[in-house]
């Protein structure tokens, strides 16, 4: 009796374990393809060429199907090119000036979501005054560039206590 089905089973396990350590949700489908090839070998299909073709066809079909389904049903905001993390999420957020501008660059401090950031007014803006609501225009390093806002900042950004 041929033990090629055991080799396919080991390949399937390797793909399944590798999926855990990689992003993208692709390797799992190759593991499923290897399981199909193992099943073919187990039921008596002796041709290695047919097993390999089944492996490739099932794997590629599942990758294409999963991509199509995920793109169709996931909200647009979850697509990688539109998904923001870290300081990128601060752009457009409102904060409160907690330290007025000083020095030639008009450096001040702004509280955003309970954190105090070094702030500079964007070009064309007057120096910052304590208590003013501001919107974050951009972030460079640990400095935010702000523009005055007509809307007040959320209440928790004005509190002196951390949340």
Number of domains composing the chain:
2
Q: What is the CATH number of the domain that holds 106?
A: 2.40.50.140
Burial tier of 145 (Cβ tally within 10 Å: 0-12, 13-18, 19+): middle
Instruction: Give the separation between CA 66 and CA 76, rounded to whole angstroms.
Output: 16
Directed axis angle between helix 27-42 and helix 48-73, to 10°? 140
pLDDT score recorded for residue 89? 77
Average pLDDT for the chain: 84
pLDDT score recorded for residue 1? 53
Which of 56, 78, 100 is at the close of a domain? 78
Angle formed at CA 52 by CA 50 and CA 56, multiple of 5 degrees: 115
Whole-structure pTM value: 0.47
Claim to verify: residue 64 and residue 91 sit in the same structural domain: no
**pLDDT tens per residue across span 42-77:** 998 989 999 999 999 999 999 998 887 777 766 555
- Give me the percent of the chain exceeding a pLDDT of 70: 84
Burial tier of 125 (Cβ tally within 10 Å: 0-12, 13-18, 19+): middle
pLDDT score recorded for residue 62? 93
Which of 78, 102, 133 is at the close of a domain? 78
- Give me the percent of the chain exceeding a pLDDT of 90: 50
Q: Residue 65 sits in which domain range?
A: 4-78
**pLDDT tens per residue across span 71-98:** 776 655 545 555 556 677 788 889 999 9
Which of 21, 50, 78 is at the close of a domain? 78
Claim to verify: residue 44 and residue 108 sit in the same structural domain: no
Q: Dihedral angle at the C-alpha atoms of 111, 112, 117, 118, nearest 10 degrees? A: -70
Instruction: Give the separation between CA 162 and CA 75, rounded to whole angstroms.
Output: 33
Claim to verify: residue 94 and residue 71 sit in the same structural domain: no
143 φ, ψ (degrees, to nearest 5): -120, 135
Q: Residue 142: is its pLDDT beyond 90? A: no
pLDDT score recorded for residue 25? 78
Classify residue 163: in a domain, yes or no.
Answer: no
Burial tier of 144 (Cβ tally within 10 Å: 0-12, 13-18, 19+): buried
């Amino acid at each position: 009796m041929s033990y090629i089905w055991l080799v396919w089973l080991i390949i399937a396990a390797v793909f399944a374990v590798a999926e855990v350590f990689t992003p993208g949700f692709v390797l799992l489908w190759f593991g499923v393809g290897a399981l199909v090839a193992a099943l073919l070998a187990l039921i008596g299909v002796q041709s290695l060429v047919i097993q390999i073709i089944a492996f490739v066809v099932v794997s590629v079909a599942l990758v294409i199907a999963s991509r199509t389904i995920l793109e169709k049903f996931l909200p647009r905001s979850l697509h990688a090119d539109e998904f923001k993390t870290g300081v990128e999420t601060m752009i457009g957020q409102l904060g409160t000036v907690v330290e007025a501008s000083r020095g030639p660059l008009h450096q001040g401090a702004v509280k955003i979501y309970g954190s105090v950031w070094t702030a500079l007014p964007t070009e064309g803006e007057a120096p910052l005054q304590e208590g003013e609501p501001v919107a974050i225009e951009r972030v460079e390093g640990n400095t935010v560039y702000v523009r005055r806002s007509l809307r007040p900042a959320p209440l928790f950004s004005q509190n002196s206590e951390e949340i």
